[in-house]
Amino acid sequence: MNKKTLFLQGNEVCVEAALYAGLDFFAGYPITPSTEIVEHLASRLPQKGGCFIQMEDEIASMCAIIGASLTGMKAMTATSGPGFSLMQEAIGYAVMAEIPCVIVNVQRGGPSTGMPTSVSQGDVMQARWGTHGDHAIITLTASNHQDVFAMTVEAFNLAETYRTPVILLLDEVVGHMREKLLMPEPAEIPLIERLHTSVKEGTDYHPYLPREDGRLPMSDFGGVHRYNVTGLVHDMWGFPTNNPKIAHGLMRHIVDKIENRVSEITRVKEYFLDDAEGILLSYGSSARSALHVVKNRRKSGERLGLLELQTLWPFPAELVRERCAHAKYVLVVELNMGQILQEVKKAVDDPSKVFLANKVDGTFITPTDIRNVIRLILGKGV
C-alpha cells in the first residue's frame, strides 16, 4: 500500500492525529510554542464539522473541553508553560468528575514566562502533581513525528477507556521540528470509544458506580439520564457527600483505576537492551540524541542500549527496574534538573548506578553532550 507521506511540523502532526482519533471539540488560547495546534485546528476542525473555539484564557479552555466532553464529544486543548499552570485547577476537576479529555502541553523553558521559544522538559512533575490533592494521571510523550501521531491517538484512547484527562507532553523541539510522517490509513490504528450505559430510560442510572473492571459507562448530557456532576467528593449518583467511607472509596477508585493498570498503560521503545552494559533512559526530543549516541557507539562495539519512555505517568517502575537490572550504569537523559531521574532512582535496585545527562539552558542536548557524560561515568575524562 502506498501511504501518503507528509512533511510536517510536530504540532501539525498532533492536529492530524487528533482528527484521526475523532476529535470533535477544541478550545484553546494561543501560546508559544503550541500556537500552531490552535491555528491549524481553527481551519481543520470546522472542515469536518467539529467545533473550534478560542477562549478568553487557558482556564476557560480547559473548562470548556470538560463541558463539551459531557455532551459526548472527544475534546482536547493545547497549551504551553504558563497556560499549563492555569489549567491545573480544571484538570483536577476532570480527574475528580472522571471526564475524558486530552491536554497537550508543548513544553518550553520555565518557570514563569521563562524562555517561550526554547526547549525544555521541565513540566514532567507538573503533569504528575500540578493539580492539588492525591490523584493519578496518565501522561504520554513522543520523540518523533510517527510517534507523535501514535501517542496523540493513544491519548484519546486512554482518556476514553479510563474516563480521565490524559496529558500529552511534547516539547518545543518536537513541536516545531519538521520531518516526515507516513500518514496511517483510516482504521490502521484502532480507536477506542467511550462506554455508554445500557441502562434504559426510567431505570436508576448510577453515573459513578464503577463496574467490576473499574470502568464507568457514561450517559451524555441531553440524553435520557439526568444526573449530577461535581468536583466535590460524591456518591454513586454524583451527589456531594462527606461520608468518610464513600470518600475513601472514591479516592481509591480514581487512583487505582490507573495505578493498578500500569502495565496496560505503559508504552516504551527498547533499543539494544538485551546485552546492554550501559542504558540510556530518555523520552521526548532528548531521546533522539540518546538514540543517535547508542546507534553510533554500537558501531564501535560499545554495548549501549536505549529505553525510551512514552508513558511517563503512571511511571513504569517495574519495567524500568527489570530492564535496568543488569546494566552497569543507567544514564537518564532529559531537559530538566532530573525529574525522571528521581523516579528511575526509586525504581532500580541500585540507585548509585543512575546518572543524569541534562541541559536546562534552553538549548537542545546533543549526542556529544551525552557522550561526554558517558566518558565521565566510565572514568575516561572529557
Q: Are 205 and 140 in contact (CB under 8 A)?
A: no
CB-CB neighbours of 46 under 10 Å: 11
Of 256, 259, 250, which is closest to residue 230 (Cα–Cα)? 250
Does the protein bind another protein through residue 47 (CB under 8 A)? yes
Does the protein bind another protein through residue 199 (CB under 8 A)? no
Could you tell me the smallest distance in angstroms from the CB atom of residue 20 to another protein?
17
Taking the C-alpha atoms of residue 131 and residue 139, their distance in angstroms, rounded to an integer, is: 14
Does the protein bind another protein through residue 202 (CB under 8 A)? no
Could you tell me the smallest distance in angstroms from the CB atom of residue 18 to another protein?
16
Name which position in 17, 18, 86, 90 contacts another protein (CB under 8 A): 90
Q: How far apart are the first and last CA of the chain?
A: 48
Taking the C-alpha atoms of residue 356 and residue 345, their distance in angstroms, rounded to an integer, is: 11
Could you tell me the smallest distance in angstroms from the CB atom of residue 322 to another protein?
41
The three-state secondary structure class of 169 is: strand
Taking the C-alpha atoms of residue 213 and residue 202, their distance in angstroms, rounded to an integer, is: 25
The three-state secondary structure class of 234 is: strand
Does the protein bind another protein through residue 67 (CB under 8 A)? yes
Number of chain positions touching another protein (CB under 8 A)? 44
Does the protein bind another protein through residue 59 (CB under 8 A)? yes
Does the protein bind another protein through residue 231 (CB under 8 A)? yes
Of 215, 205, 200, which is closest to residue 100 (Cα–Cα)? 215
Does the protein bind another protein through residue 27 (CB under 8 A)? yes
Beta bridge partners of 119: 108
Q: From 45-53, 259-267, 305-313, 344-352, give the range in contact with another protein by CB under 8 A.
A: 45-53
Nearer to another protein, 73 or 357 (CB): 73
Taking the C-alpha atoms of residue 305 and residue 44, their distance in angstroms, rounded to an integer, is: 40
Does the protein bind another protein through residue 68 (CB under 8 A)? yes
Site string for another protein, 124-143 (x = CB under 8 A): --------------------
Does the protein bind another protein through residue 237 (CB under 8 A)? yes
Does the protein bind another protein through residue 88 (CB under 8 A)? no
Could you tell me the smallest distance in angstroms from the CB atom of residue 73 to another protein?
5
The CA distances from residue 335 to 118, 128, 171, in Å, are 11, 17, 10
Cis before 33? omega within 30: yes
Could you tell me the smallest distance in angstroms from the CB atom of residue 258 to another protein?
22
Contact positions vs another protein (CB under 8 A): 24-25, 27, 43, 46-47, 49, 51, 53, 55-57, 59-61, 63-73, 75, 89-90, 93, 221-224, 226-232, 237, 239-240
